[in-house]
Structure 1
């Protein structure tokens, strides 16, 4: 059942789709984005090693969509090929499903999906967990982001980026501007003996004053103290297709490709964040 529904790194490095251009979420019927109360989370996940659950989506039914904004626009960055459509977003078998399809739409050869929590849930500091199974294939670019509501979208934290032709590699990035307005970044790439398209994995981030830690399946894999945003950010989940960094998709590949999200959870500690 269908309900509805980034400046990447220059010179072939991971980066932001959002710099310099802010997009508007699609206008959807009130019945989808109403103010219905969501079911309270179960007790066993409301507290975790001193962290208190402040926001979550388990994607148990279509009411999940009241927490998200679908995107409806053609990506203009990095030469990407997709048009984001609300129709490419679904909830199925307790999963958020973002489908990428080989189909023509308004001059684009592919469509895909993206959702954000802009204006619905924005926060400063916390622990983010996203349990997901990634799509695989040349030119397929799934990512989880934290971005700013300001017009230039900076600062930005990339919780996870992956290029589908390298299903065992993950990229972690933080972007910001220095006092002179120059764009800066710190990042790393990890390579694992894992194909992230074959099973679900837990992609995590610990965002603290002065420090950011990226985690994978509960273990720390990258840390930086070069910059940590101190203003509210919102969640952004998407799959891009093609472009200067991932390259073109394989025209012989099977579509659709699916990014599967089991849950998204945000925790905070007492006295830190908002």
Structure 2
């Protein structure tokens, strides 16, 4: 795994790279086929239950596997009690007694303001699962989210969705969305994010363009705030419906993760 500081990557940029708007060398360059692993100083884990999914995100190694040159996120059928159950300070989470699916959610420890993000992954199609590679903003008095890729289970086998959400809150959003049937197996999912626009590509084919000013209100620009890169194997949301427990376990397989920094002085 190669991780460079932003200042270093800016120093090694060539003029041709500057014209493209992104650094010539990745800021983060993880190739699992070379034996790379996630650095715990660079990647965090979301753990526990959430109100909008039916999974319990674990923090140990039972749902995250390094095998055959791949990082594998695995969703398993098992009942796990919610440690927040019955505790009023946790709000709506106090009403969730347990979950019947364990899974994984990883996130970059750092937030990025613009950049190019590329993940090569094999995403499962299974009823009720919602594997996703996405960017989520700090979201202080606003909401911004870039879904580079999501799957919607067996009703849309091979279909991958890209969506950009932006607005003053999660209840007041503007969206741009697209989808493409890429079929099974490994595919390259890429987002190019600049102040002016977001472009999303599947296997280098452009499938979605959203303006940077989407959702701008009250002097706030949700798509121009720092965002965290997230990769998770979720499910059971309102969008995808209940998880088919009999189809588990299911795996999301990842070959590589790369992030390039954005060069603010670059030509558009």
1:141 to 113, 130, 139: 130
Q: Which residue of 2 aligns with 1:11?
A: none
Contact 1:169 1:189 in 2 (8 A): no
TM-score normalised by L of structure 1: 0.72
Matched, 1:236 2:230: yes
Q: Which residue of 1 aligns with 2:174?
A: 185
| Cα 1:209/1:221, change in 2 over 3 Å | same
Matched, 1:116 2:107: yes
**Which runs of structure 2 are paired with 1:1-274 in the superposition (5 Å)?**
39=2, 50=17, 51=22, 52=24, 53-59=26-32, 60-62=35-37, 64-77=39-52, 80-86=53-59, 87-106=62-81, 107-117=98-108, 120-150=109-139, 154-165=143-154, 166-178=156-168, 183-192=172-181, 194-195=182-183, 198-225=184-211, 226-227=213-214, 229-253=223-247, 255-271=248-264
Distance 1:143 1:245 in 2: 13
Distance 1:91 1:181 in 2: 35
| Cα 1:168/1:111, change in 2 over 3 Å | same
SS at match of 1:64: coil
| Cα 1:272/1:214, change in 2 over 3 Å | farther
Q: Which residue of 1 aligns with 2:217?
A: none
* Larger Cα-atom Rg: 2
The alignment yields a C-alpha RMSD, in angstroms, of: 2.7
List gaps (5 residues or longer) in structure 2.
5-11, 82-97, 215-221
| Cα 1:269/1:235, change in 2 over 3 Å | closer
TM-score normalised by L of structure 2: 0.74
List gaps (5 residues or longer) in structure 1.
1-37
Contact 2:30 2:37 in 1 (8 A): no
Contact 2:163 2:177 in 1 (8 A): yes
Contact 2:198 2:210 in 1 (8 A): yes
- Aligned residue pairs: how many? 223
Contact 1:83 1:108 in 2 (8 A): yes
SS at match of 1:252: helix
Tell me whether 146-155 or 205-214 shows the greater mean CA deviation.
Answer: 146-155
> CA shift at 1:97, angstroms?
1.1
Q: Could you report, residue by residue, the CA deviation over 1:137-196 in whole angstroms, capped at 9, with x for unpaired residues?
A: 111110111112345672111111111211222222222224x9962222223232x32x
> CA shift at 1:233, angstroms?
0.8
